[in-house]
Amino acid sequence: MLPVFGAPSTNIRTLEPRILYVQYANPAELPPLEHSSRILADKGWNVLFLGIDGTEGLTFDPHPRIRLKRMEYCKPGFLQKLHYLQYCAWVLWTIAIWRPRCLYASDTFGAPLAWVATFFRSLRVIYHEHDSAPPSAEPLMKLLAAFRGRLYKKALCVWPNERRAELVAPQCVQRAVVWNCPGRAEVREARPVEAVAKLNVFYHGSIVPARLPATIVEALLLLPVGVRLTVAGYETVSSRGYVDKLRAIARQAGAEHRFKYAGAVPRRTDLLALCRQADVGIAFMPLTDRGDINASNMTGASNKPFDYLSQGLALLVSNRPDWKTMFADAGFGLSCNQDDPASIASALRWFMDHADDRRGMGERGRQRILQDWNYETQFQPILEWLNKS
């Protein structure tokens, strides 16, 4: 177990409320966990995360009231099942010793622990389902799904999308929808007026073909040399080598210098600083979902468009009805067919030729983030629930 920052408290009689976040993964993968924990810490809560190491060194920015402890990562297989049991014992021991007021679970592997926690009268339980796991015939996953189904009826369940909540868990007794928005403190100042013949395009997140198709690199070849693409993030297990493929496409066309891979940026503040240097943010989703309940219901659930807007970037989103209505039709950017390099190139050329309009899109989005598309506003119902005692 690897404590990352902060010193453990030994005074269990402290009057300061405590919240324990449990996630059998790296908590820093999910910005909502960092946002909610900082909101609570700023309001006097002591926060402890118990998670797993991994994901390219991603971590939180330090906070004096937040501690992050992580077990070493274990590869899938029989040993991982024993590893998971060890993690469960660690969490239950921490509950007994540390005595938190609230347990905040945020993945399927945390569901059994959260369900057990509901039997402690003094312990309030929140279950935040960021992504809904598909049905599985694997015995462990079936068991976890059964616990999750029971938990829906006993905990406060938080969802990033209303429709997803209705489809997955109509039996929820207590339900809240919290969009995956940035914090107000992350919003940059208004962008200056610049008259330059260039366009910097930015993408961050998991680097997979569905989110960052090769057509975006191919589109660069149809545009002036002043259009450049920067990508920050990490390859998933199923997409190892994809960055090299994108590099090869750019290199074969003699445009390698226009495609930059910044790698995985460990801290969110540094990631947003990199984002701030761009003009347009890419937020693509597949045009056909093929039965994927998460991909079918992503409005509010994806942090990308909100992050881009918080830095004053205009958006280029998929030409699918939900995202087109929410972002393009509302005046925050343009939509395109991401499967067609010419469609992407046409939108990016418009951004380059209409710098004032592009800046206006980003500014409208920045103001909307400050107004209500921020995590403080989104998280307010959860705060009110926690303060009930």
- Predicted local distance difference test score (pLDDT) of residue 13: 40
H helical segments located in the chain: 31-42, 78-98, 111-117, 139-151, 162-168, 215-220, 242-252, 268-275, 293-296, 304-310, 321-323, 341-353, 355-371, 375-387
Specify whether domain 185-371 bears CATH 3.40.50.2000. Answer: yes
Region class of 233: left (phi > 0), else alpha (psi between -120 and 50), else beta: left
CATH of domain 2-180+375-387: 3.40.50.2000
- The predicted-structure confidence for 11-44, as pLDDT tens digits, reads as follows 444 578 999 999 999 999 999 999 999 999 999 9
183-234, pLDDT tens digit by residue?
Answer: 999 999 988 777 667 999 999 999 999 999 999 999 999 999 999 999 999 8
Which pLDDT band holds residue 135 (cuts at 50, 70, 90)? Answer: confident
The domains spanning 2-180+375-387 and 185-371 adopt the same CATH topology: yes
In this structure, the number of other CB atoms found within 10 A of the CB of residue 324 comes to: 17
Task: Give the model's confidence band at 8: pLDDT under 50 very low, under 70 low, under 90 confident, else very high.
Answer: very low
Residue with tokens 């910044």: 262
* Domain range list for the chain: 2-180+375-387, 185-371
Residue of 150, 147, 125, 145 lying closest to 135 (CA atoms)? 145
Q: How confident is the model at residue 258 (pLDDT cuts 50, 70, 90)?
A: very high
pLDDT at site 267: 95
